Structure 1
């Protein structure tokens, strides 16, 4: 099986086992070893896959609920694909990510996607779904509705199962704003396309970099116009080479002709200043996308915090003296409000994740609701979240059992010494106090006890699962 593992881990073709060099290495390590054929290697890979799949299937029987992310796309060969990924926490409080299915699908219709997901879940024996994260396509709304109807085991009949992909919505928001800076972005894009179009042009550009004594090893990269984060990275690197591009305009007439041939000239000083401001403006969106796209650490508790930061950023930029920035921010704010502008438009599970972060609990929601909705509606909003939180708690209590077993250090005795005349009296009052303490704890759920304690201090490397 070691060869099968090597083929899978290193993504090698099956024919590697028949390569002359590979066989020579095997003979040098152990002359008696019989190198398998490519057919045997392929058979071993399938056997290993089935073994690992069965192990994972057994794990799914022991874990709690599973969250899913589902992505669909069309390749350049015009083939439709779907990738379904499971995210779950094991009994040791470790986060796991596993790709359950990567397959071709006939089309992107919602019912087709829903049926494929349902079939995959049945194959893995997964019957406890918590949430499904999908992008904002209308077909995904149909797919989620299909899962609500035909896949069992949901909390509250799947009312909160649907979570829209934050990165995808961020993409829609930023793309709306970038339309107002199309001229400067297009000029820089044309300049980058020119120097990337041939080795000779790249060599000329490198000479300009040397003359300007720019100490940067990054190479300019062309963006994908529909992916704003690639546009951000293109602008970030290109702005570093502002002076070399201006020098190239003076030294290379063909560069100027090329840029003018597409109805715009090379980027001028005003364009570069606009790009510099734009990079600073977009950085918060890029950083938030990177943080929320992580799969090796918990991000659900950070979702709302990132939304708060973005909303605050857009509100501030909407008051900017820069007319272009102000217009960008206002357009992006409209799109932001469309998806996240009110509590009714946001999946309440996002707020539950915030409360279950011991650094925030209800304090962050209190602060933010007051800032957005004003003092009159804060308690109403908090009550909605609290009500859902208790509903979830009682749902889990039914399945897993309820206990108030939260340990605390024993409080000092509050018995008045003047009331104690003898050892027997002291013993009586101590027993009485203990009874009161235990009675109070028994009347409080674990949630109540958790919320009564203050928030944890914010630490740079805080691990919420380890806590």
Structure 2
């Protein structure tokens, strides 16, 4: 066998045949790779060494703490964790010296205006700001574990230790508890009366919910809106609603209630009556709660408009069917856009469907559709199924809209625009509306009186029906909450003269 190897390799083959174990060790030694330089950046902060027991160790260059560093048994996670919390690591040393920081003024980031502030790294402050961001922007808790957010924080603030989703959940709940204590303190120390608004509804799972909102003016004369309760209730009965509101007021320590604004459901009359008795027992009501109940003006407007739409509903149904047909497929919508271009209709509006239970969405649909009357006529010429499919509808009277339908829709859109803008004005929650309610009610009266004399028969019937619904709630001066008039008198722009003039115009001359 020694002769088959040939030349200088003969002694090596001879040793292999005599001692296989020694030869394998020699092969492994000859093929052993050279020691590579550590690739992790964490090794910049550690010194490698071998102790007396032959174990590979790493010593922190700042606090002299030792860690196992065998590359086959130990990774670098523990080393990274330690360096992030090492108290002697220079970036982690909490010095009293602050840094100058330029902060742009809120709402004016683009014009270069701002102020100089001092800044110092604070782990807890950043965590609180992160919890507030999750709450305000309605982000999921797992957002803090997303790769993009972690890359951003590692670049913007490497010293910040990003919490896990469970920790940020606890931070958000703690943030809620802290804010609740602050708000309780405000309610307790403030001498201002509080106005409440509440509403109830049922989910698709047949679960009843109630929300309670508090409106108050602080010592700096700033208006605030705070949702103080969102809970399940047993039913929509008045007594159940009243007890739920009472329980919430007791939990918050609120006893100075000025008004409660609710919609016109009969159950709310029972709920307000129950709360009036309880608040009177607390001894903090105004005039024994005589004017505690405030009817929601936006809800009354909704009832007035919905009642009037029933008179000219057939024209609305025809336009709705036409819009639904066009939006039924991408090909139809593309053809309709081509018709709009040919007719040179300069409008940025787009066709939209309404929700039958929300009249404001019906107004938006009609307001957008009436601008494309000529486009619908051209679309009827180019789509042979448009007229035939609408004429063969399952509902009686549904067909493609004609010129009379478009005229009715155009008048309705003009009328409903006034109610739409009025609803937006009275629904504001960041500014005071009590001093303008009587003015808005008077404007509705004048508007209905003007449109009731319209030459269009159907439109006149619609307005007269709306006037009947208006008189049900605002036709009798004795049934209205007198606080509406007091708010106008206290407004220096109106005072008593305007109230006298408006009352005479509505209830005497009208």
Q: What's the TM-score, normalizing by structure 2? A: 0.71
Q: Which residue of 2 aligns with 1:206?
A: 337
Corresponding position: 1:233 with 2:361 = no
Per-residue deviation, 1:63: 4.2
Q: Which residue of 2 aligns with 1:165?
A: 296
Q: Is the 8 A contact 2:214 2:226 kept in 1?
A: yes
**Aligned with 1:37 (options 156, 164, 169):** 164
Q: Which residue of 2 aligns with 1:346?
A: 480
Q: Which residue of 1 aligns with 2:418?
A: 284
Q: Which residue of 2 aligns with 1:143?
A: 271
Per-residue deviation, 1:199: 2.1
Corresponding position: 1:319 with 2:319 = no
Q: Which residue of 2 aligns with 1:274?
A: 408
Give me the whole-angstrom Cα distance separating, in 2, the residues matched to 1:163 and 1:37: 47
Q: Which residue of 1 aligns with 2:349?
A: 218
Q: Which residue of 2 aligns with 1:47?
A: 174
Q: Which residue of 2 aligns with 1:438?
A: none
Q: Which residue of 2 aligns with 1:56?
A: 183
**Which has more radius of gyration?**
2
Q: Which residue of 2 aligns with 1:255?
A: 386
Give me the whole-angstrom Cα distance separating, in 2, the residues matched to 1:243 and 1:134: 44
Q: Which residue of 2 aligns with 1:26?
A: 153
Q: Is the 8 A contact 1:191 1:267 kept in 2?
A: yes
Give me the whole-angstrom Cα distance separating, in 1, the residues matched to 2:329 and 2:232: 36
Q: String of CA shifts for 1:13-53, please: whole Å, max 9, x gaps.
A: 11112222222222223334322111110000000111111
Give me the whole-angstrom Cα distance separating, in 2, the residues matched to 1:280 and 1:274: 10
Q: Is the 8 A contact 1:223 1:230 kept in 2?
A: yes
Corresponding position: 1:89 with 2:223 = no
Equivalent pairs, count: 375
Higher strand share: 2
Give me the whole-angstrom Cα distance separating, in 2, the residues matched to 1:126 and 1:24: 46
Give me the whole-angstrom Cα distance separating, in 2, the residues matched to 1:267 and 1:42: 55
Q: Is the 8 A contact 2:201 2:209 kept in 1?
A: yes
**Aligned with 1:132 (options 257, 260, 275):** 260
Per-residue deviation, 1:299: 0.7
Give me the whole-angstrom Cα distance separating, in 1, the residues matched to 2:307 and 2:504: 28
Alpha-carbon spacing, 1:172–1:54, altered in 2? closer, same or farther (3 Å) = same
Q: Which residue of 2 aligns with 1:182?
A: 313
Q: Is the 8 A contact 2:306 2:359 kept in 1?
A: yes
Unaligned runs of 5+ in 2: 1-127
Q: String of CA shifts for 1:419-447, please: whole Å, max 9, x gaps.
A: xxxxxxxxxxxxxxxxxxxxxxxxxxxxx
**Matching of residues 99-138 of structure 1 within 5 Å:** 99-138=227-266
| SS of the residue 2:216 aligns to | strand
Give me the whole-angstrom Cα distance separating, in 2, the residues matched to 1:173 and 1:116: 30
Q: Is the 8 A contact 1:63 1:90 kept in 2?
A: no
Q: Is the 8 A contact 2:262 2:296 kept in 1?
A: yes
Q: Which residue of 2 aligns with 1:386?
A: none
Q: String of CA shifts for 1:344-394, please: whole Å, max 9, x gaps.
A: 11111111111111111111111122223439xxxxxxxxxxxxxxxxxxx
Q: Which residue of 2 aligns with 1:303?
A: 437
Q: Is the 8 A contact 2:408 2:459 kept in 1?
A: no
Q: Is the 8 A contact 2:355 2:362 kept in 1?
A: yes
| SS of the residue 2:209 aligns to | strand
Give me the whole-angstrom Cα distance separating, in 2, the residues matched to 1:236 and 1:63: 47
**Aligned with 1:70 (options 175, 180, 198):** 198
Q: Is the 8 A contact 2:442 2:506 kept in 1?
A: no
Q: String of CA shifts for 1:35-88, please: whole Å, max 9, x gaps.
A: 211111000000011111111111222141010111111223332221111111
Corresponding position: 1:369 with 2:503 = yes
| SS of the residue 1:83 aligns to | strand
Deviates more, 1:228-237 or 1:74-83: 74-83
Give me the whole-angstrom Cα distance separating, in 1, the residues matched to 2:455 and 2:157: 74
Q: Is the 8 A contact 2:445 2:506 kept in 1?
A: no
| SS of the residue 1:68 aligns to | strand
Q: Is the 8 A contact 1:160 1:349 kept in 2?
A: yes
Give me the whole-angstrom Cα distance separating, in 1, the residues matched to 2:206 and 2:498: 46
Which structure is richer in relative contact order (CA contacts within 8 A, separation 6 or more)? 1
Give me the whole-angstrom Cα distance separating, in 1, the residues matched to 2:151 and 2:273: 57
| SS of the residue 2:310 aligns to | helix
Deviates more, 1:313-322 or 1:214-223: 313-322
Q: Which residue of 1 aligns with 2:138?
A: 11
Higher helix share: 1
Q: Is the 8 A contact 2:202 2:208 kept in 1?
A: yes
Q: Is the 8 A contact 2:363 2:416 kept in 1?
A: yes
